[in-house]
């Protein structure tokens, strides 16, 4: 049922573009779903992509443009005149139009707005451009359907017909009072089956009306829509006047982006990159954490050099250095990951920091005991009872400390409004490496009596 882009089909398309075989392109490419055209354009080089893009019907060009891979979209936009951009903007929903404008320079924004012929579109845009892109205001669209409390069903249906031209998907009709304040909502289903003379007042639902403020944070909007299972949420200003609505498709994008960001942060990647980005961009995104890891390694070298004479007397002490550092890192990453997720989900919020650390300590004691016993046997088998005691005792200590730091650091970051996901990954690994080395070698020197 679904279209699946194959390498062969892509090559055929490239050939057809080369030969300007418009007939074939029209039958086999332009007739596809917008989303499939996007996936084709994303795989083409700029020249053929631009050629194909300009063959698209005007009414879908804008939608396709906004779904393209960032790099291609930027290059395409640069190749457009202000007049062309204005034409695309007029075809878009207001939220997408604002997103497009946000990719332009301030000066170009002004010029494009002057070129927009539809007054309402220009007005919507100017309004939306006021909001921060990371807030509900920056996410909302101005197209929604509303009805007033004092309208009869008949008038509402007529109004609906007029308003609906601008609204791609109707989910809910928002009901306002005479001061434009949001008071409730009405499902299309309810309206459809109501008596023509009935007043909206007697039909609408005013209980538990969920809305968000224009300055609400994007991620908070996503959480609210998820919690209340909403496909659209109305946006109100500080006076509770209805100013826009946010639909679930935009929120799905936010949820995905947020998850990607956390995953990349936990993996030590500092910018949002994709595997088809340039070598240079990928390198740059990865270097900051590597430098931090390097510094941690140099600190570690400093710690070990303090025990140089001990190691030259008992070189076996060096054997288990990687085990200790790796385990400290692993435990730290595990415990910080649990804290980061619980903070992101908003669960477990009534237990105090102390209670959380206490719980993590119990987990660490349990796992530490088990793993210490295991490593004791292995190290004795490997070298001697003394080394077995040193390794198992220090592993136990490192696991407990690693767990406590792994819990504490993201909680502290969160308290000071820093993204706690920063703590997962290289940061906590590096810290626990250095700490683990110090614990291990101190215990070693003490127990070997050197």
Residues 411-440 that bind a copy of itself (CB under 8 A): 424-426, 429-430, 433, 437
Task: Candidates 87-95, 114-122, 126-134, 369-377: pick the segment binding a copy of itself (CB under 8 A).
Answer: 369-377
* 319 interacts with a copy of itself by CB under 8 A: yes
Neighbours of 199 (CB within 10 A): 17
3-state secondary structure of 131: coil
Question: In this chain, which stretch among 20-28, 94-102, 108-116, 304-312 interacts with a copy of itself, using CB under 8 A?
Answer: 304-312
Q: Please list every residue from 50 through 109 that binds a copy of itself, using CB under 8 A.
A: none
Confirm or reject binding of residue 321 to a copy of itself (CB under 8 A). yes
* Positions 202 through 241 that interact with a copy of itself (CB under 8 A): 207-208, 210-213, 224, 226-229, 231, 236
Q: Figure out which of the listed residues 111, 348, 380, 384 binds a copy of itself, where binding follows CB under 8 A.
A: 348
Residue 326 CB, nearest approach to a copy of itself (Å): 5
Cα 233 versus chain centre, distance: 19
Shortest Cβ distance from residue 170 to a copy of itself (Å)? Answer: 5
Task: Give the residue with the Cβ less far from a copy of itself, 85 or 145.
Answer: 145
Q: Which helix (H) or strand (E) holds 120?
A: helix 119-128
Determine the distance from the C-alpha atom of residue 63 to the mean position of all C-alpha atoms in its chain, rounded to a whole number.
22
Least separation, in Å, of the C-beta of 213 and a copy of itself? 7
φ/ψ of residue 400, rounded to 5? -65, -50
The site map against a copy of itself for 143-162 (x = CB under 8 A) is: --------------x--xx-
Question: Torsion angle, CA of 337/341/347/349, rounded to 10 degrees?
Answer: 60
To a copy of itself, the closest distance from the beta carbon of 39 in angstroms equals 8
Whole-number minimum distance, CB 110 to a copy of itself, in Å? 31
**Residue 145 in tokens:** 């359907």
Q: Of 16, 72, 375, 400, which one interacts with a copy of itself (CB under 8 A)? A: 375
- 113 or 403: CB nearest a copy of itself: 403
Instruction: For residue 241, list its beta bridge partners.
Output: 181
- Strand order through the sheet with 146-148: 146-148, 172-176, 182-187
With CB under 8 A as the contact rule, the residue among 28, 148, 155, 359 that binds a copy of itself is: 359
CA dihedral 66, 72, 75, 79 (to 10 degrees): -70
Q: Interface with a copy of itself by CB under 8 A: which range of 45-53, 95-103, 173-181, 292-300?
A: 292-300
Residue 185, burial from CB neighbour count under 10 angstroms (0-12, 13-18, 19+): buried
351 binds a copy of itself, rule: CB under 8 A:
yes
Beta strand segments in 177-336, E = 182-187, 212-213, 232-236, 242-247
| Angle of CA points 183, 128, 70, to nearest 5° | 125
List binders of a copy of itself among 239-278 (CB under 8 A).
248-249, 251-252, 255-256, 259-260, 262-264, 266-269, 273-276
Helix (H) or strand (E) holding 172: strand 172-176
């Amino acid at each position: 049922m679904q279209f699946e882009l194959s390498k062969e089909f892509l090559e055929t398309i490239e050939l057809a573009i080369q030969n300007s075989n418009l007939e074939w392109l029209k039958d086999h490419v332009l007739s596809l779903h917008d989303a499939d055209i996007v996936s084709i354009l994303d795989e083409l080089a700029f020249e053929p992509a631009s050629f194909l893009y300009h063959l698209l019907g005007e009414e879908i060009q804008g939608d396709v443009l906004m779904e393209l891979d960032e790099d291609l979209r930027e290059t395409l936009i640069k190749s457009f005149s202000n007049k062309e951009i204005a034409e695309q903007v007029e075809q878009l929903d207001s939220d997408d139009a604002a997103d497009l404008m946000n990719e332009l320079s301030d000066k170009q924004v002004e010029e494009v707005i002057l070129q927009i012929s539809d007054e309402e579109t220009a007005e919507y845009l100017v309004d939306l451009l006021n909001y921060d892109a990371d807030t509900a205001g920056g996410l909302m669209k101005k197209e929604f359907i509303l009805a007033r409390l004092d309208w009869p069903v008949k008038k509402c249906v007529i109004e609906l017909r007029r308003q609906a031209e601008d609204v791609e998907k109707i989910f809910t009709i928002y009901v306002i009072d005479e001061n434009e304040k949001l008071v409730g909502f009405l499902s299309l289903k309810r309206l459809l089956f109501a008596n023509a003379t009935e007043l909206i007042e007697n039909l609408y639902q005013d209980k538990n009306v969920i809305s968000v403020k224009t300055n609400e944070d994007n991620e908070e909007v996503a959480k609210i829509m998820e919690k209340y299972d909403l496909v659209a949420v109305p946006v109100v200003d500080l006076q509770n006047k209805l100013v826009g609505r946010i639909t679930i498709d935009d929120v799905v994008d936010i949820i995905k982006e947020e998850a990607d960001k956390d995953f990349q942060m936990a993996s030590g990647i500092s910018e949002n990159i994709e595997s088809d980005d340039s070598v240079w961009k990928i390198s740059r995104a990865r270097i900051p954490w590597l430098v931090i890891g390097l510094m941690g390694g140099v600190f570690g070298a400093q710690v070990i050099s303090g025990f140089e004479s001990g190691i030259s007397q008992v070189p076996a002490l060096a054997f288990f250095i990687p085990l200790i550092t790796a385990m400290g890192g692993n435990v730290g990453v595990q415990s910080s990951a649990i804290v980061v997720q619980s903070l992101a989900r908003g669960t477990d919020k009534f237990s105090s920091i102390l209670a959380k650390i206490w719980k993590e300590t119990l987990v660490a004691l349990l796992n530490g005991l088990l793993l210490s016993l295991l490593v004791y046997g292995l190290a004795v088998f490997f070298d001697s009872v003394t080394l077995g005691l040193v390794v198992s005792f220090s592993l136990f200590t490192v696991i407990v400390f690693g767990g406590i730091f792994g819990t504490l650091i993201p909680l502290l970051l969160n308290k000071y409004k820093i993204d706690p996901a920063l703590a997962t990954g290289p940061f906590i690994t590096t810290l626990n490496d250095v700490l683990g080395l110090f614990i291990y070698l101190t215990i070693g020197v003490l127990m070997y009596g050197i």
